[in-house]
Structure 1
Amino acid sequence: MRAVVYRGPFDVEVTEVPDATIEQPTDAVVRITTTNICGSDLHMYEGRTSVEEGTVFGHENMGVVEAVGGAVTRIKVGDRVSVPFNISCGTCRNCSQGWTSFCTSLNPTEGVDGAAYGYANMGPYPGGQAELLRVPFADVNLLELPPGSEHENDFTMLSDIFPTGWHGTVLARQQPGDDVVVFGAGPVGLMAAHSAMIRGAARVFVVDKEADRLALAGKIGATAIDFSAGDPVEQILDATDGRGTDCGVEAVGYQAHDPSGEEHPELVLDNLVKVVRTTGGIGVVGVYMPEDPGAATKDAQEGRIGFDYGTFFTKGQHMGTGQAPVKRYNRQLRDLIVAGRATPSFIVSHELSLDAAVDGYKHFDDRDHGWTKVLLRPGA
C-alpha cells in the first residue's frame, strides 16, 4: 500500500509499505478515505521529536471498514468510521474512567501512558496517511458515522482536532456567558474557538499573527487579536475594560515564538496568566515535550518551561493539561455536525491526493498563506 513515511527532518516520502492486516482477533482494517496533516505532525517533520526513521505518519483518520477480526462484534465490514487518534484498550483504570488518552496497556514506551497512530513515543502503531490502517480493539475505538460521503470534511475533524479544541474549553472550565481567549489560530485553536462559541461563550478572542487564520476566526464570530500589531494582553484588557477573560486555551505548544520568530516556550503560558482573571481557568492542549533537544534554552531542552507560576498561584487560577480523550466527546460532536450546529470543515484549505503529501507538508510547515488545514485522499 502507499503511505507517507518519515525519512528525517523535513523529509517525508510517499512509498510502498506492507499492507495493514488483521494481527489480533480484536483488530479491524480501515480503508482510509480522508487523513489529515496535523500541526502535531510538524513537530516530528521538523525533527523536534524522537520519532524513528521509517514511521508511517498520520493520526487523524477516517474511512470504511474493510476487514474485522474474529472477536469483533459491534463493528461490521462496510461501516463508515472515525478513528480516534488515541488507541485505547477500554478496560485499564484510565480507560474505564474515560481517560482513553492515557491508556496504561498499549504503549510499551517507558514512562508514557497513552498510545496513538504514527506518533513519537506513542507506541509501535503505523499511522493512517496510507491506503489502509490497522485499528486495535476496534469495538472499543471506532465511531460509526452515517453511510455515504456527506459531511466528509466535517467528520474527518472528529479523530483529533475538534475533540482537542473542545477539550481545551473543558479543561479551562468554560461556562456559558464567559469571555474566552484562545492563543493560536492554527487548526486546534480555531476548533477551540468554534467549541467555545457552541458552548455559549459571550466573546471569544483569538490571538495569532497570520492574517488568513485570523480571518477564519472572524468568520465564526470571534474577535481576532493580531499580536504582531501590539501586546495581545493589552489589546484584550482594553476590550474587557481591564477585567481580562474568564478563561483561556493554550493551542500553540512548546514552539511558541514572538513576532520576530524567536522561540520562547513560556510566552503563551505567561500571557494567559496575565490575561485570564483571578480564579479563572487555563486549558493547555498545545503540545509540550519532556525532552526537546532543539529548544532555545537548556531548561526547555529538558522539558522545563519557566512560566510565571508565582502570578498563577497568586491569582488563584487553575490549569488543565494533556491530550484529549477523544471518545469522551466524539459521539456528541458527530451529532452536532449532523444537526448543523457544528461545521468544523470551515478550516479546510487544501484537499490533496496522498501522492501530493510531500508538497503538502512543505507548504503547511512553511505556514504559507492560505494553508490552514490539509486533507489527504488516499483514493484520489
Structure 2
Amino acid sequence: MRAAVLKEHGEPLEIEEVDDPQVTPDGAIVEMEACGICRSDWHGWQGDWDWLGIQSEEGQILGHEPAGHVIAVGENVTRFAEGDHVAIPFNLGDGTCIECRTGHGNTCENLMPLGFVKEVQGAFAEEVHVPAADQNLVALPDGVSSVDMAGLGCRFMTAFHGLAHRADVGAGDWVAVHGCGGVGLSAVHIADALGANVVAVDLIDEKLERAKTLGATETVNAGDVEDVPGEVQAITDRGANVSVDALGIATTCQNSVLSLGRRGQHLQIGLTTEDEQGMVSLPTDAMVMQEIEFIGSLGMPPTRYDEIFRMVATGKLDPSAVVSETVGLEDVSDKLAAMTDFETVGIPVIERF
C-alpha cells in the first residue's frame, strides 16, 4: 500500500510502497477514505514530545484523524464487521485496564497514540490496523461523509470532551478560546452550540473571521493589543467563566489563566512544544486567591461519541464546518510545513490516497 513515511524530523515525508497491515485476532483493518492533518502530526514530524515518551522515529507513518470502512476483522472482534463505516480516535486503549473498563479509554493505562509510535502505525496510508477494535472503533451514523467526520479522530472530539465533559460550560457563560487552529475553531463552534458566548483569540485575522462564522461573539487579535487577558476581561466584564488553551505554548496558557474571572476554569487542550517541554509557569497565587481551576483534557472516551452524533443529527453541531480543504497524500508535507508558521486554517483533510 501507499504511505507517507517519516524519514527525518522536519524533512518532507516520503511516499512509499509499504507492506499492508495484517489483522490481529482482536484488531481490524480500515481502508482510508479521509484523514485530517493535525498540528499534533506537526509535533511528531518535528520530533517533539520525547519528554512524554512518544517521539516519532524514522519509519513512522503519521496520521491520527482517520475515517473509512472496515475491510477485515480479527476472530475475536464482535462489535464490528467488514463494510462498517467508522472513525478511529487517536487515543487507542487496550480495552483491559481499569480506565478502559470504566469508560475512560482515552486515559488508558497502556495508551497507544495512533500514528506516533511504531506499535500503531498511522493513517497517512491506504490502510491502517486498529488494535482492540471493539474498544477503539467508533461506528459512524448512516449517510455521513468520511471527510466531514475526519476531525472526530482528534480535534473536534478533543474540543467536545473538554468543553462538554471536563469543564462546566453553562448557557450564557463566557468562554475564551486562545488559538484558532483546528481544535480551537472546533472549540469555538462547540462552545457556541452549548449556549456560551465565545471570545476567540489569535494572531491571524483570517482565523478570527472563520471563528466568527463558527459562532464567536467577539474576537481579539493578540498582535494588535498589549494585554490579551485585559481585553478578554473587558469584553466579559468580570472575566471568562471558562478559558481554553488550544495551542499549547507558554503565552497562550498564561493568557488563558489570566483571562478568567473568580472561580473560573482553565481548560488545557494544547500540548507543549520543544520550548516548554511540558513545563509552563503559572500565576499560582492568583489562582489560589480566585479559586481558579486548571483542567487537563485528553481526547475523548469512545463510549461517548453518540452525544456528538445526536447534536449533529439535530443541526446543533457540524464537524464539516471546520474542514477547510481536501488534499492528496502527496500534499501532506506541504501542509505540515505550513503549520510551522501557523498558515493553515481549519482542518485540511486527505481524501486521495
Q: What residue number does 1:184 align with?
A: 179
Q: What residue number does 2:145 align with?
A: 151
Per-residue deviation, residues 80-114 of structure 1 (Å, max 9, x unmatched): 11111111122311112222122124xxxxxxxx2
> Aligned partners of 1:41, 1:118: CA distance in 2, in Å?
8
Query: Is there any run of 5+ residues in structure 1 with no aligned partner, and where?
Result: 106-113, 257-264
Deviation at 1:365, TM superposition (A): 3.2
Match of 1:287 among 251, 267, 271: 271
Matched position secondary structure for 2:170: coil
Per-residue deviation, residues 193-240 of structure 1 (Å, max 9, x unmatched): 111111111x10011011111111110220211111102212122222
Please give the TM-score of this superposition, normalised by the length of structure 2: 0.92
Please give the TM-score of this superposition, normalised by the length of structure 1: 0.85
> Aligned partners of 2:351, 2:147: CA distance in 1, in Å?
11
Q: What residue number does 2:17 align with?
A: 16
Q: What residue number does 2:112 align with?
A: 115
Deviation at 1:147, TM superposition (A): 4.5
> Aligned partners of 2:63, 2:295: CA distance in 1, in Å?
26
Deviation at 1:284, TM superposition (A): 0.6
Deviation at 1:252, TM superposition (A): 1.0
Q: Is the 2:103–2:301 Cα contact (8 Å) retained in structure 1?
A: no
Per-residue deviation, residues 318-377 of structure 1 (Å, max 9, x unmatched): 111141234143222123223322112222222011122222222333333x54321012
- Seq. identity, %: 31
Q: What are the residue-to-residue correspondences of 1:214-293 with 2, within 5 Å? A: 214-222=208-216, 223-230=218-225, 231-241=227-237, 243-253=238-248, 256=249, 265=250, 267-288=251-272
Matched position secondary structure for 2:267: strand
Q: Is the 1:32–1:378 Cα contact (8 Å) retained in structure 2?
A: no
Q: What are the residue-to-residue correspondences of 1:334-353 with 2, within 5 Å? A: 334-353=309-328
Q: What residue number does 2:307 align with?
A: 332
> Aligned partners of 1:373, 1:158: CA distance in 2, in Å?
11
Query: Is there any run of 5+ residues in structure 2 with no aligned partner, and where?
Result: 50-54
Q: Is the 1:165–1:192 Cα contact (8 Å) retained in structure 2?
A: yes
Matched position secondary structure for 2:223: helix
Q: What are the residue-to-residue correspondences of 1:161-180 with 2, within 5 Å? A: 161-169=155-163, 170-180=165-175
Deviation at 1:77, TM superposition (A): 0.4
> Aligned partners of 2:167, 2:78: CA distance in 1, in Å?
37
> Aligned partners of 2:231, 2:279: CA distance in 1, in Å?
29
For 1:234, the aligned partner's letter is: G
Deviation at 1:138, TM superposition (A): 1.1
For 1:142, the aligned partner's letter is: L
> Aligned partners of 1:41, 1:344: CA distance in 2, in Å?
19
Match of 1:205 among 199, 212, 216: 199
> Aligned partners of 1:163, 1:329: CA distance in 2, in Å?
10
CA RMSD in angstroms comes to 1.8
Deviation at 1:176, TM superposition (A): 2.0
Q: What residue number does 1:72 align with?
A: 77
Matched position secondary structure for 1:329: helix
> Aligned partners of 1:272, 1:371: CA distance in 2, in Å?
21
Deviation at 1:168, TM superposition (A): 2.4
Q: What residue number does 2:30 align with?
A: 30
Aligned in 2, Cα 1:151/1:377: closer, same or farther, shift over 3 Å?
Answer: closer
Confirm or deny that 1:194 pairs with 2:189.
yes
Q: Is the 1:88–1:140 Cα contact (8 Å) retained in structure 2?
A: yes
Aligned in 2, Cα 1:372/1:364: closer, same or farther, shift over 3 Å?
Answer: farther
Q: What residue number does 1:363 align with?
A: 338
Aligned length: 344
Q: Is the 2:182–2:346 Cα contact (8 Å) retained in structure 1?
A: yes
> Aligned partners of 1:271, 1:360: CA distance in 2, in Å?
28
